[in-house]
């Protein structure tokens, strides 16, 4: 199955088991399309839009996404080992069951994304916008979360041992449901954690 031409808008199409390894995809909009078990290893994607698409079991090893939106889509059981996203929008996309080891993000928006139970240990997510992300029960051991916007993030049951949250925005996080053993936080975050447990912060006179 051939890659659509630049400028194409593709709606409700099936690309199941397509072989797009090493190809270039530019300027294409996909809406409600299915890519069941497609192979997109080392695919280069620029200025594309994927809206409400299903990419179950897709192999995206070492694929490169630039200036691309992947919104409200599903990457269940997808392989994103070494996949890079630069200047991308991943709003509301589900990564449940996906292999994200070695995934790289820069200047990318992960707000409202779903990472429930995902193994994201040791990823460099520094500076990523992650407002209202659902990382319930996710493995975030050793993950670099410095300067992230984690406002309203759901982190219940997540393993954050060794994670670095310094400089991250942590507004409205329910810290009482989070195990903070070994987590690196800054002073402002430490005060927020203390207040979430009902502590009264008294500045010295």
Same domain, 47 and 102: yes
Same domain, 101 and 145: no
- Residue finishing a domain among 109, 140, 158: 109
Structure confidence at residue 204 (pLDDT): 65
Structure confidence at residue 21 (pLDDT): 98
Structure confidence at residue 141 (pLDDT): 96
For residue 65, being part of any structural domain is answered with yes
For residue 203, being part of any structural domain is answered with no
Q: What CATH number should be reported for the domain holding residue 13?
A: 2.160.20.80
Same domain, 86 and 3: yes
For residue 202, being part of any structural domain is answered with no
- Residue finishing a domain among 83, 109, 135: 109
Same domain, 131 and 100: no
For residue 64, being part of any structural domain is answered with yes
For residue 204, being part of any structural domain is answered with no
Same domain, 12 and 78: yes
- Count the domains in the chain: 2
Same domain, 81 and 175: no
Structure confidence at residue 91 (pLDDT): 98
- Residue finishing a domain among 87, 109, 131: 109
Read off the pLDDT of residues 79-128 as tens digits, 9 standing for 90 and up.
999 999 999 999 999 999 999 999 999 999 999 999 999 999 999 999 99
Structure confidence at residue 205 (pLDDT): 61
Q: Which residues of the chain have pLDDT under 70?
A: 203-205
- 69-71: strand order across its sheet: 9-11, 29-31, 49-51, 69-71
Same domain, 21 and 39: yes
For residue 176, being part of any structural domain is answered with yes
For residue 148, being part of any structural domain is answered with yes
Q: What angle do CA 195, 147, 71 make, to 5 degrees?
A: 105
Same domain, 144 and 168: yes
Same domain, 133 and 184: yes
Domain that holds residue 23: 1-109
Structure confidence at residue 85 (pLDDT): 98
């Amino acid at each position: 199955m051939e890659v659509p031409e630049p400028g194409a808008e593709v709606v409700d199409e099936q690309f199941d088991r397509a072989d797009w390894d090493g190809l270039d995809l530019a300027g294409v909009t996909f809406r409600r399309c299915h890519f069941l078990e497609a192979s997109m290893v080392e695919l280069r994607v620029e200025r594309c839009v994927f809206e409400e698409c299903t990419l179950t079991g897709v192999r995206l090893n070492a694929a490169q996404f630039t200036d691309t939106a992947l919104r409200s889509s599903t990457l269940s059981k997808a392989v994103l080992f070494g996949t890079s996203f630069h200047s991308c929008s991943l709003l509301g996309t589900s990564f449940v069951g996906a292999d994200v080891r070695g995934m790289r993000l820069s200047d990318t928006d992960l707000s409202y994304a779903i990472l429930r139970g995902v193994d994201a240990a040791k990823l460099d997510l520094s500076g990523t916008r992650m407002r209202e992300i659902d990382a319930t029960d996710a493995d975030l051991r050793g993950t670099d979360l410095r300067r992230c916007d984690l406002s309203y993030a759901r982190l219940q049951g997540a393993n954050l041992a060794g994670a670095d949250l310094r400089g991250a925005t942590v507004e409205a996080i329910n810290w009482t449901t989070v195990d903070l053993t070994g987590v690196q936080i800054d002073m402002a975050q430490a005060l927020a954690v203390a207040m979430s447990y009902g502590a009264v912060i008294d500045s010295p006179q």
